[in-house]
Amino acid sequence: MEKVRIGIVGFGNMGHTHYRFITEGLVKNMEITAVCDINPKKLEVAKELLPDVPQFTNAEDLYKSGLCDAVTIATPHYVHPELAIKALENGLHVLCEKPAGVYTKQVNEMIEAQKRSGKLLAVNFCLRGIPVYQALKKLVDSGELGHIKRITWLATQWYRPQAYHDSAGWRSTWATEGGGALINQCPHQLDLWQWLFGRPDQLMADVSFGKYYDIEVDDDVSAMFKYNNGTTGVYLTGTGETPGTNRLDISCDMGRVVMENGKITFDKLEISEREWNAAHNDEEPPKNTIEIPVEGKDLYCGVFVDFANAVIEGRTELLSPGYEAINELTMSNAMYYSAWNGSKWIDLDNFPHDDFYNELMKRVATSKPKEGVEDRFYVTGGTK
């Protein structure tokens, strides 16, 4: 196999982004061989861009066509797991847009389907391939930081005006999107958090719903994390602030690491703070400020490139494997669940998957559909 034959399921904002990744040569060993969407207008756009590529209005027909080795799924969130499971059962590799799904029960089912199929399942957490996060991952994994004491991430660069929320009928309701900032924009940082530091053991959250916009879902979040090893964390995010901030602070035994504006600065102590504390009374330990090298170009198609290479090479290791997506989703589900229960602490190791689903369905039952909203492209720099 020289090129992976890929079918795009869902040709909206993100499906169109996937199309650009491939047709602009950013994923050199992948070619589009089929497109599926239930919306005739989306297929009209696809026909103009890909006049020789077969079109489908039913995903299973595409899966059974024999035209594809793999599919990308870029539909509204609730149907990600269902479409992925059917693709896997039909012998296709799957690259699913984030989030993997809306609630943990359905994503656990998707992961089990992948295990049964023996096919690849990736989730497009595209920030994993960005050089600054690659460099940070390498630093954390090296052990050079020692014990991590506290992690603070201020992630408010996800500004989305009311026009964004009104740009498609499925956006920003419990029934059709399944949430707001936590389910759409912020999975990127939550995935990076668990990728870099591991999933927290407990969390609590204060979540505001419709604080800045005429929406029923979340647009402002403050959360606290706890790890059994003593590490704590604070995560602040939302879609109602501009200009926003993307700053990560890591306090550790060997000093402090700050990531901001594409740079990583390490205020490195000459001796561990714990060792210094045992031997000194009133001074701070000496330090040296180091800028960690960040090399490479910001390309948001790294998960696609890795996925295509893995299919061709027959390897099972992936940059963003589907089984890890449950960690990020458990974190966001737990934040909702905490907020719905008076901001109480939630045990993620014993997360109540059924109870959360029931609470979510209560909100779905009273969710108000958008009337008179016509889907249209909304340019967001490559993210949903």
Query: Residue 36 is part of a domain; what is its CATH number?
Result: 3.40.50.720
HSE, CB side, 13 Å, CA atoms: give it for residue 53: 23
Same domain, 288 and 305: no
Same domain for 159 and 264, yes or no, is yes
Instruction: Tell me how many degrees the CA angle 151-277-254 measures, rounded to the nearest 5.
Output: 40
Q: Is the peptide bond before 243 cis (omega within 30 degrees of 0)?
A: yes
Q: Is residue 138 part of a domain?
A: yes
Cα 332 to Cα 25, 243, 336: the distances in Å are: 34, 24, 7
Distance CA 76, CA 334 (A): 21
How would residue 118 be classed by pLDDT, with cut points 50, 70 and 90? Answer: very high
Query: What are the tokens at 178?
Result: 């399944």
225 and 202 in contact (C-beta within 8 Å)?
Answer: yes
Q: Please check whether residues 85 and 136 belong to one and the same domain.
A: no
Pairing of strands 255-260, 93-97: unpaired
Instruction: Tell whether 383 is covered by a domain.
Output: no
Residue 381 — very low, low, confident or very high, per pLDDT cuts 50/70/90?
very low
* pLDDT above 80: residue 348: yes
* pLDDT above 70 as % of the chain: 97
Domain membership flag for residue 90: yes
Same domain, 69 and 108: yes
Residue 113: domain span: 4-126+299-320
Mean pLDDT of the chain: 94
Question: Which of 320, 355, 373 delimits the end of a domain?
Answer: 320
pLDDT at 382 over 50: no
pLDDT at res. 182: 98
95: tokens are 């690259």
pLDDT band, residue 380 (cuts 50/70/90): very low
Which residue is listed with tokens 């939302």? 238
| pLDDT of 338 | 98
Same domain, 65 and 168: no
Whether residues 107 and 219 share a domain: the answer is no
Same-domain pairing of 63 and 35: yes
80 in a domain, yes or no? Answer: yes
Same domain, 307 and 349: no
pLDDT in tens, 185-203: 999 999 999 999 999 999 9
Helix (H) or strand (E) holding 347: strand 346-347
pLDDT digits (tens, 9 = 90+) for 15-62: 999 999 999 999 999 999 999 999 999 999 999 999 999 999 999 999
229-243 pLDDT, tens digit each: 999 999 999 999 999
**Shared-domain flag, residues 105 and 160:** no
Tell me what pLDDT residue 283 has. Answer: 86
The pTM of the full predicted model, rounded to 2 decimals, is 0.94
Query: Does position 378 have pLDDT exceeding 90, yes or no?
Result: no
Query: What pLDDT shows up at residue 372?
Result: 62
Give domain status of residue 17, yes or no.
yes
Mean pLDDT of the 127-149 span? 97
105 assigned to some structural domain: yes
- Indicate the residue type of 133: Y
- The per-residue pLDDT for range 255-307, each reduced to its tens digit, is 999 999 999 999 999 999 999 999 987 789 999 999 999 999 888 999 999 99
Cβ–Cβ < 8 Å for 380, 164: yes
Q: What is the CA radius of gyration of the chain?
A: 22
CA distance 189 to 160: 16
User: pLDDT category, 374, cuts 50, 70, 90?
Assistant: low
List, for residues 64-110, the tens digit of each pLDDT value. 999 999 999 999 999 999 999 999 999 999 999 999 999 999 999 99
C-alpha distance from residue 266 to each of 140, 213, 263 (Å): 11, 38, 10
Can you give the CATH number for the domain in which 234 is found? Answer: 3.30.360.10
When pLDDT is cut at 50, 70 and 90, the band that residue 384 belongs to is: very low
Peptide bond just before 99 cis, omega within 30 deg? yes
Nearest by Cα to 104 from 363, 356, 367: 356
Tell me the one-letter amino acid at 86.
Answer: K
- Average pLDDT rounded to a whole number, residues 112-124: 98
> What angle in degrees, to the nearest 10, is found between the helix axes of 40-49 and 13-23?
10
Q: Within this chain, do residues 355 and 214 fall inside the same structural domain, yes or no?
A: yes
Q: Tell me, yes or no, whether 160 and 270 share the same domain.
A: yes
In a domain, 117, yes or no: yes
Is 86 a member of any domain?
yes
Answer whether residue 254 shows pLDDT above 90: yes
Give the whole-angstrom CA distance, residue 97 versus residue 191. 13
In the chain, the number of structural domains is 2
41 and 96 part of one domain: yes
Whose structure tokens read 């995560």? 235
